[in-house]
Amino acid sequence: MAENRVALITGAGRGIGAKIALTLASENIDIAVVDYGEESAAAETMSALAAAGVKAKYYRCDVSDFTATKAVVDAVVKEFGKIDILVNNAGITADNLILRMEEADWDRVLNINLKGCFNMIKHVTPYMMRKRYGRIVSISSVVGLMGNAGQANYAASKAGIVGLTKTVAKEFGARNITANAVAPGFIKTAMTDALTEEQKKEMYKLIPLGCLGETDDIANAVKFLTSDAARYITGVVLKVDGGMYI
């Protein structure tokens, strides 16, 4: 029997990251759950992964910390033996207009959303190169492609992921390592659930398909890009936005 592939997923304790973890687990992929919160906050996710029958372990880490990310990557390889898949999902927002935005909010968003991707890629790729195999998927956003008032830091970080992804694809392609990005649009989350019906109607007007996306839609895109079916796809930004940005 072939051994399971191993995926390291950041921001996987809950939300979209947790859904990605569970979707990959359904493909018999073992999961290293990396998140900044306490392990207790990811108890539901870890329980679901155990029920899926795959090996899973939780690692607490601030992805913006270069030294900490190396320690986690090394620990994952020691525990699982390898890392086949890296999913850079960890991200935050600290929205404000540029005139009101604090330097600290700019730095924090860029450090977690963009530097965090660099840190993980930097430390994971040497292991992937030795195996001559790797699948890297980073979660960007349509905001990184189109911009959005009040989100200069977030948009810049997500646009940076696009440039980083294309560069990684060029630098590591010869070692059979692909790098792609997924750019979600409006996805149904606790935050969007809190919107009024009027606010939702205005939002739907921006989306040709007329509805919000589900976390499953993002997870399935990641599943495809990390599968053998996508072996000849690299340097791509896959928009999952219902046609919001065309």
**197 band by pLDDT with thresholds 50, 70 and 90:** confident
Residue 246 lies in a domain: no
Cα 147 to Cα 145: distance, rounded to the nearest angstrom? 6
CB neighbours of 200 closer than 8 A, spacing ≥ 6?
192, 212
Is 24 among the domain residues? yes
| CATH number, residue 76 | 3.40.50.720
To 10 degrees, the CA torsion angle through 230, 233, 236, 238? -20
pTM of the predicted protein model: 0.97
Chain position carrying tokens 């040709």: 208
Range of the domain at 133: 5-240
Q: Pick the catalytic residue: 154, 204, 232, 245?
A: 154
Q: Worst-scoring range by mean pLDDT, 112-121, 132-141, 200-209?
A: 200-209
Secondary structure of the chain in HEC code, one letter for each residue: CCCCCEEEEECCCCHHHHHHHHHHHCCCCEEEEEECCCHHHHHHHHHHHHHCCCCEEEEECCCCCHHHHHHHHHHHHHHHCCCCEEEECCCCCCCECHHHCCHHHHHHHHHHHHHHHHHHHHHHHHHHHHHCCEEEEEECCCHHHHCCCCEHHHHHHHHHHHHHHHHHHHHHHHHCEEEEEEEECCECCHHHHCCCHHHHHHHHCCCCCCCCECHHHHHHHHHHHCCHHHCCCCCCEEEECCCCCC
pLDDT digits (tens, 9 = 90+) for 81-131: 999 999 999 999 999 999 999 999 999 999 999 999 999 999 999 999 999
pLDDT band for position 192 (cuts 50, 70, 90): confident
* Residue 19 covered by a domain: yes
Q: Is 154 a catalytic residue?
A: yes
Rounded Cα–Cα distance for residues 108 and 64 (Å): 9
**What band does 28 get if pLDDT is binned at 50, 70 and 90?**
very high
What is the per-residue pLDDT for 200?
Answer: 84
Chain mean pLDDT for the chain: 96
Question: For residue 245, is it within any domain?
Answer: no
Q: Per-residue pLDDT for 38 more than 60?
A: yes
Structural domains counted in the chain: 1
Q: Look at residue 123 and tell me if it is in a domain.
A: yes
Q: Is the pLDDT of residue 201 over 90?
A: no
Q: What is the pLDDT of residue 156?
A: 98
Report whether pLDDT(1) > 80: no
